[in-house]
Structure 1
């Protein structure tokens, strides 16, 4: 086992190194811990105090010298359960805070703006933010949709779409080619799909009347979110011009 395994349950890197050192070596005084672990002497005091607080080590005095011993490994489970309990309490606080934070945020971002997100997680964040701006009775219009992109992104859209369907929001897709990806969307509820054969290096989605997403799926993935009614209206008009000629 290495220290990274213990880090996954909530120990810091230094705590994990010290705990493993004590598990392997038994009872040690501070100087021996430093030598065997390779840690900086300036950090060892805080690390030992933190491990004691978490119940991961015990302290004893031998000939008036402090020695430390690792707690039984079962204590790891006890610590994890305690941490999980604390996280559940924090979740309640977070859930109460989110509505208030959203009110403040909505006031500060009401002006036209654009934000660039990068990476797969950035794409997901941009989509969720744009989706929050879709009002009742509004649509999502997507143009330049293609299956010729990263499979992970195709799967993201397939898995995300039920969220839109549950809210009964209609989406219209202009696909660049006929494919199994197109056929899959064609069968979905609250979904319309047509084909307009062309090559488009980016995909443009209009979310309702206020948000536009311009997505570049080639590495490095990037997504530009534009929050502006005039921009959304322009892209919406452009979409419907192409929609009329698509099959």
Structure 2
């Protein structure tokens, strides 16, 4: 039997040896398990306890002696299902803190960073894209807030007109709760693909990436824009964006 299959399912080599030995032995004490599996006697109880926790081994007391038996092999499938559910839950939890970790990484970067205060300053930082991007190039924006002042919406609309004229592409992921009218408006401009985030994750800021530049826009309570020129930081944010983008759905 190819033991690597069970190891890939989440069992250690020692657990596999003990489980397979129990399948052959049936109800038994630890002595025969050690002899057949070849595992060290000093760790047999630890391995059995781990298998019990995984639902793959059970025990009874017979003649005041603890005896073990393997659960039916179909229990391995149930264990895999539980493990996958736990991994999915853990992934969801980690996804929610990744934006904060990326922000922390960016704030401590050794690249060239410039801070702009106020929405006018944010506009200046945002428009630096036109110094680096040409027709056919593009930028990505992650975590566009669901709620924004009307003056901000008007600026973004004017900028999309300018961007489209230059021929710059853009992909945008808006936070859940964004009005359909806003998404419809953004998608009405050429070379723009605006979608909703594929989960309920709300990023602590808006992140824009292009070339070697990352722009972090924090809108509450005061608008602050942080422009970082660092290829490594930009690559990190871009990879995070792509992870959500491939799971998002085009606006229809």
TM-score (norm 2): 0.51
| RMSD of Structure 2 on Structure 1 (CA) | 1.8
For residues 175 and 202 of structure 1, the distance between their equivalents in structure 2, rounded to whole angstroms, comes to 11
In the TM superposition, residue 215 of structure 1 has moved relative to its aligned partner by: 0.2
The reply on whether 1:199 has 2:202 as its aligned counterpart is yes
Q: Distance in 2 between matches of 1:166 and 1:201?
A: 31
CA distance in 1, matches of 2:134, 2:165: 14
Distance 2:204 2:153 in 1: 16
2:198 is the alignment partner of 1:183: no
C-alpha displacement of 1:136: 4.5
Q: Are 1:140 and 2:143 matched, yes or no? A: no
**TM superposition shift of 1:127:** 1.0
Cα distance in 1, alignment partners of residues 167 and 174 from structure 2: 21
SS at match of 2:127: helix
Structure 1, residues 58-80: CA drift from partner, whole Å, max 9, x if none?
xxxxxxxxxxxxxxxxxxxxxxx
From 223, 245, 252, give the equivalent of 1:243.
Answer: 245
The 3-state SS of whatever aligns with 2:128 is: helix
After superposing on structure 2, the runs of 4+ consecutive aligned residues of structure 1 that deviate more than 4 Å are none
Partner residue of 2:72?
A: none
What is the 5 A alignment of 1:103-142?
112-142=111-141
After superposition, give the CA deviation of every residue in 1:139-174 in whole Å (9 maximum; x if it has no partner): 110010134022211211111111111111110010
Q: Secondary structure at the match of 1:245?
A: coil
Gaps in structure 1 of 5+ consecutive residues: 1-110
1:113-133 deviation line (CA, Å, top 9, x unaligned): 010100121111111223312
Moved more, 131-140 or 183-192: 131-140
Deviation by residue 1:197-243 (Cα, 9 ceiling, x = unmatched): 43223110112x11111001113110000112222222111111110
- Whether the 8 Å contact between 1:171 and 1:190 is mirrored in structure 2 is yes
Residue 46 of structure 2: aligned partner: none
C-alpha contact 1:150 1:217 (8 A) present in aligned 2:
no
Asked if the contact 1:147/1:154 (under 8 Å) is kept, the reply is: no
2-side partners of 1:143 and 1:115: how far apart? 20
State the distance in 1 between where 2:220 and 2:150 align.
12
- Report the count of equivalent residues: 136
Q: Give the structure 2 partner of residue 210 of structure 1.
A: 212
User: Which among 218, 221, 225 is matched to residue 219 of structure 1?
Assistant: 221
User: 5+ unaligned residues in a row in structure 2: which ranges?
Assistant: 1-109
Distance across 1 between alignment mates of 2:183 and 2:154: 13
Secondary structure at 2:160 match in 1? helix
